[in-house]
Amino acid sequence: MEKQMFCFQCEQTMGGTGCTGRAGVCGKSAPAAKLQDELTGALIGLARTATANAPTSKTNRIILEGLFTTITNVNFDVATIQLMIDKVNAEKMLFLQIVPPTMMLNKFGTTMKTSVL
C-alpha cells in the first residue's frame, strides 16, 4: 500500500499507530489530513504571536473554530479547512503588524527584546 497520508488524530487509527494510504479508517482523505496538520501548525503560530499582545475575543473565537475544525469526524471538506487556515493566518498577520520590530517571540512563545541593526 502506497503511503499517501499519515494521520493519528483519533482512536480509530489502524492498530493505534496511525492511518496511511489514500484514506483513513474514518474516511478522511490524505489531502484533508494534510490540511488539518497545516491548520494545527497555523493555530500554534497564531497562539505564539498573540502572546506578544493581548489576544482579542475574535482571536480566541478563531482559535476555537480552528480547533473544532481539526476534531476527527467533524469536517473533512478540504475547501473549508483551507478557508480556516486562511482565517487563522490573516489574524496572525494582524498581530505581526502591531508587534514592535524590536520584540520577537522565543521558542517558548514569550517575548524577548532584540537589537535592531
pLDDT tens digits along 39-89: 999 999 999 888 877 788 999 999 999 999 888 666 789 999 999 999 999
Residue 87 within a domain? yes
Residue 42 within a domain? yes
pLDDT at 113: 47
What DSSP string describes 1-22? Answer: -----EE--STTSGGGS-EESS
pLDDT at 116: 39
Angle between helices 30-50 and 78-98 (to 10 degrees): 20
Residue 109 within a domain? yes
Residue 22 within a domain? no
Q: Where are the beta strands (DSSP E) in 18-110?
A: 19-20, 103-105
Residue 101 within a domain? yes
Residue 43 within a domain? yes
Residue 48 within a domain? yes
What's the rounded Cα separation, in Å, for the pair 107 and 105?
Answer: 7
**Which residues form the domain of 103?**
31-113
Q: How many structural domains compose the chain?
A: 1
* Cα angle 93, 9, 21; round to 5: 105
Residue 57 within a domain? yes
